[in-house]
């Protein structure tokens, strides 16, 4: 193997270590500080670290904070003004989801698009269904983005890359059917949000649309049945690991146990997400599901921890099955070449 190849492998391992360290430290600190949504900061940090091997510059981090705050404020205003008119609210949310998925289908926006999707799911649900959390959601989002950026910088300071910076990947070509895929994905996510708006128990129900958004962001528009099966299995693994970690934490509820459990999950999923591999996106999604599920389990939200956690695991399974089924139903079929058309 060439020296450049060895350097790339070493830096990929260091990137995986950065991801694991950031989510473990951030998650543990969030729980100890009593954060209402403890997975938010580590989730943002993981997205920042996975999307690039370079740390965000200060102006980029400020831009990300402004983007999240502006998006959150606008969505909160929309939810307040149209909360008593569900069709209008759903129409506006569908437009936001369509724009995000359209940018994703064309390879634009990077990790920021997924963060906006998370905000576009959380803010309306919290605002409409839980006024106590809805009133403070903007400050929660700001704290999440800022803590995510700080965790990213600390991880780069502790575990820097070796040698030269990695080569920038070429810009992806425009997807000729991006609008069709974006419309299908927006409809799939909107139905999941609608299901949450029509039922109580926000603390657990919010897991469904966030999981759906994560899965849709992982799905490749040309994915085969084998790739779809891999998507299901890897994301199920994230949920199973979260369940196992929660059970261990119940038996031994100490801070070191919490830190080690999240660190190990970060090493397994974050380490694979850091590799230059087609499956990297799937492991990044599995890490997202682990953080969300484990985070809602240990959060101070009301409800019986054991019962609500079991319910959340079932919601993850429902979200995965629902997303795969709806994608198969609504996505356009593979394009046929002119030669195939003539032969048929």
Whether 339 is in a domain gets the answer: no
Burial environment of residue 55 by CB neighbours within 10 A (0 to 12, 13 to 18, 19 or more): buried
- State which residues form the domain around 315: 9-161+175-330
CA distance 85 to 317: 31
How many domains does the chain contain in total? 1
In a domain, 187, yes or no: yes
CB 323 within 8 A of CB 208: no
Would you write out the chain's pLDDT as a tens digit for each of its 344 residues? 455 567 777 788 889 899 999 999 999 999 998 888 888 889 989 988 887 778 888 888 888 888 888 888 888 888 888 877 888 888 999 999 999 999 888 877 777 788 888 888 888 887 777 666 656 777 888 888 889 999 999 999 998 887 654 445 555 556 667 888 889 999 999 998 888 887 655 445 677 888 888 888 876 544 555 566 677 778 788 888 988 898 899 888 899 999 999 999 999 998 888 887 777 888 888 898 899 888 877 876 544 444 466 777 777 788 888 888 888 888 776 544 333 433 33
User: Does 266 reside within a domain?
Assistant: yes
**338 in any annotated domain:** no
Q: Is 29 in a helix, a strand, or coil?
A: helix
The Cα 246–Cα 306 span in angstroms is 9
Q: Is residue 72 included in any domain, yes or no? A: yes
Give domain status of residue 343, yes or no. no
**What secondary structure does DSSP assign to 274-320, as a single string?**
TSSSTTHHHHHHHHHHHHHHHHHHHS--SS-HHHHHHHHHHHHHHHH
Please check whether residue 335 lies inside any domain of the structure.
no
Does 240 reside within a domain?
A: yes
């Amino acid at each position: 193997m060439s020296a450049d190849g060895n350097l790339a492998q070493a830096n990929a391992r260091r990137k995986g270590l950065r991801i694991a360290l950031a989510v473990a430290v951030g998650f543990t600190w969030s729980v100890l500080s009593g954060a209402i949504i403890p997975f938010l900061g580590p989730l943002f940090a993981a997205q920042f670290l996975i999307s690039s091997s370079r740390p965000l510059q200060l102006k980029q981090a400020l831009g990300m904070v402004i983007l999240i705050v502006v998006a959150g404020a606008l969505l909160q205003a929309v939810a307040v003004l149209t909360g008593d008119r569900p069709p209008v609210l759903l129409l506006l949310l569908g437009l936001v989801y369509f724009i995000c998925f359209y940018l994703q289908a064309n390879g634009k926006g990077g990790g920021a698009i997924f963060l906006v999707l998370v905000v576009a799911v959380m803010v309306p649900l919290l605002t409409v269904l839980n006024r106590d959390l809805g009133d403070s959601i903007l400050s929660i989002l700001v704290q999440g983005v800022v803590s995510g950026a700080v965790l990213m910088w600390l991880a780069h300071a502790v575990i820097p890359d070796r040698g030269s910076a990695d080569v920038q990947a070429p810009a992806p070509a425009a997807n000729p059917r991006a609008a069709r895929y974006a419309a299908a994905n927006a409809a799939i996510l909107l139905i999941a949000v609608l299901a949450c708006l029509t039922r109580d128990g926000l603390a657990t129900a919010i897991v469904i649309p966030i999981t759906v958004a994560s899965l849709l962001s992982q799905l490749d528009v040309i994915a085969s049945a084998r790739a779809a099966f891999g998507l299901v299995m890897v994301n199920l693994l994230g949920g199973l690991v979260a369940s196992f970690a929660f059970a261990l934490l119940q038996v031994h509820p100490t801070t070191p146990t919490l830190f080690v459990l999240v660190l190990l999950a970060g090493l397994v999923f974050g380490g694979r997400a850091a590799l230059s591999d087609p499956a990297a996106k799937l492991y990044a999604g599995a890490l997202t599901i682990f953080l969300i599920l484990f985070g809602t389990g240990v959060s101070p939200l009301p409800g019986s921890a054991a019962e609500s956690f079991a319910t959340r695991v079932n919601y993850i399974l429902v979200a995965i099955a629902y997303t795969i089924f709806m994608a198969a139903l609504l996505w356009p079929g593979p394009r046929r070449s002119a030669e195939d058309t003539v032969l048929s």
